[in-house]
Structure 1
């Protein structure tokens, strides 16, 4: 089939490579311009560069729908459009233009985690599996009928970086397999159960701020979700920002005030956590490696030479 690709960053790059390696003909690639957004500078393999190396025409757009793009799409005459990590809404005059419509590939198990940063949100929320969905695009974002869906388990110490690499391996195969089903004439796709849908916003630096009222188990997942090269989860110590690179849930149960720098446990330092920490029924968060604002990374036991004082969510709050 003749395929137009709408894609961005490493997800789009990997999908485009799979299409180029397949029996299909890629007749046009549309991608976004480079971004300064912290999360969009991470996995940023260029769709435009890959397309150019294979003599595929490229158009760069922040949003689709202008007359030049519509004319180029009609001239390309695609049988199908494939969209991967496209960051803005694609209007009906585009997604319905090919005779087979548009296949969107999204890195979550829809209908859950539609929208942005699904792997990070899923890890923070303690999901047992993540995955990729290939679905037909319709008027609502990430809401179309499901063609294929593939899942991978979330390991007990997986980070978002681990989950990125696990799910990235699914993008090429699910796209090519989805196109094979479409080309066969199949249309009996699975309708999404919208009562189970959830939609998430883009993550920003604010979403990495540690709230010590969260239970230690949730904070452990937050730290793993904000693994390198993502912006790390952070807190403040004596007015200075401190990034948490590695942490885990404590073995012991510790009571007191959330944020208290309490005691050494093994090779780390326990911070009291949880809104009801005063009852002493719950675990703390063991910090193992931290990074200062000047980029120095060191064991928490080297950074916290003495116990006592507090970690806070903002620099202006009191802390010892």
Structure 2
């Protein structure tokens, strides 16, 4: 099939590579200009560079809504558009243009976690697995019929970085298998159960800030979800920003006020956590490694030289 590809960052790069390695013919690539957004500078393999290295015409767009782009798509005469990590709305006149419509590749197990940063959100929420879904595009974001889907389990010590590498390796088989079904003439695919749908916004700095009213289990997952190279989870200590690089749920249960720097436990320092911490029934978050505002990385037991005081959500 003649394929036009819309994509960005490493997800788009892997999709384009899968198409180049397949029997299909990529005739045009549309990608975004480089961005300074913190999450868009991560996993930033260039779709444009890969396309140009293979002699494929490239168009740079923030939004696919201009007449020149539409004319170029008509000239390309695609059988299908394949999209992955396209960051803005694609209008119906574009996604309906190809003979077989548009196949979107999304890094979650739809219908859950439509939208942005699905791996990080899923991990924070304690999901047991993540994955990649190929679905037909329709008028609602990430809501079309599912053509193919594969999952991987979330391990108890996995970070978001681990899960990125696991899921990005699913892009090629999910994409190529889905295209094979479409090329073979299949047109009936699996409708999404919209009662199970959830949609998440882009993550920003405030989303990495620790709220000590959360249960320690949730905070431990937040720290793993914000693993390098993602921005680290952070709190404030004595008015200065303190990044939490590693932490575990404490063995002991600690009562009092959320955020209290309370007790040295093993190789960590236990912080009181949970909205109902006053009951004394909660485990704490045992911080084991931190990074200070001036960039020093320290064991928590070296940073917290005495117990007492509080970690806060604001300076």
Note if 1:53 corresponds to 2:53. yes
1:130 positional shift: 0.5
1:298 positional shift: 1.0
1:157 positional shift: 1.1
Residues 153-207 of structure 1, C-alpha deviations (whole Å, 9 max, x = no match): 0001111111101100001111111100000001120001111110000000000
1:293 positional shift: 1.6
Number of the residue aligned with 1:246: 246
Number of the residue aligned with 2:135: 135
1:65 positional shift: 2.0
Partner Cα separation in structure 2 for residue 93 and residue 66 of structure 1: 11
Note if 1:216 corresponds to 2:220. no
Partner Cα separation in structure 1 for residue 303 and residue 217 of structure 2: 23
1:45 positional shift: 0.5
Note if 1:164 corresponds to 2:164. yes
Number of the residue aligned with 2:281: 281
Show the 5 A alignment for 1:1-320.
1-315=1-315
- Local SS of the residue matching 1:163: helix
Where structure 1 has 5 or more consecutive residues not aligned to the other structure, the ranges are 316-320
Which stretches of structure 1, 4 residues or longer, exceed 3 Å deviation after superposition? none
Partner Cα separation in structure 1 for residue 29 and residue 296 of structure 2: 41
- Local SS of the residue matching 1:94: helix
The alignment of Structure 1 onto Structure 2 pairs a total of residues equal to 315
Residues 275-298 of structure 1, C-alpha deviations (whole Å, 9 max, x = no match): 111111110000001001221111
RMSD value, Cα: 0.6
Residues 134-153 of structure 1, C-alpha deviations (whole Å, 9 max, x = no match): 00000110000000011000
Partner Cα separation in structure 2 for residue 171 and residue 276 of structure 1: 42
Partner Cα separation in structure 2 for residue 14 and residue 166 of structure 1: 13
Residues 74-126 of structure 1, C-alpha deviations (whole Å, 9 max, x = no match): 11111110000000110111101110110000001111100000000000000
Where structure 2 has 5 or more consecutive residues not aligned to the other structure, the ranges are none
- Local SS of the residue matching 1:135: strand
- Local SS of the residue matching 1:275: coil
Partner Cα separation in structure 2 for residue 240 and residue 110 of structure 1: 40
Number of the residue aligned with 1:318: none
- Local SS of the residue matching 2:264: strand
Residues 294-317 of structure 1, C-alpha deviations (whole Å, 9 max, x = no match): 2111110111111111100000xx
Partner Cα separation in structure 2 for residue 293 and residue 305 of structure 1: 17
1:52 positional shift: 0.6
- Local SS of the residue matching 2:135: strand
Partner Cα separation in structure 2 for residue 170 and residue 84 of structure 1: 13
Partner Cα separation in structure 2 for residue 276 and residue 196 of structure 1: 30
1:62 positional shift: 0.2
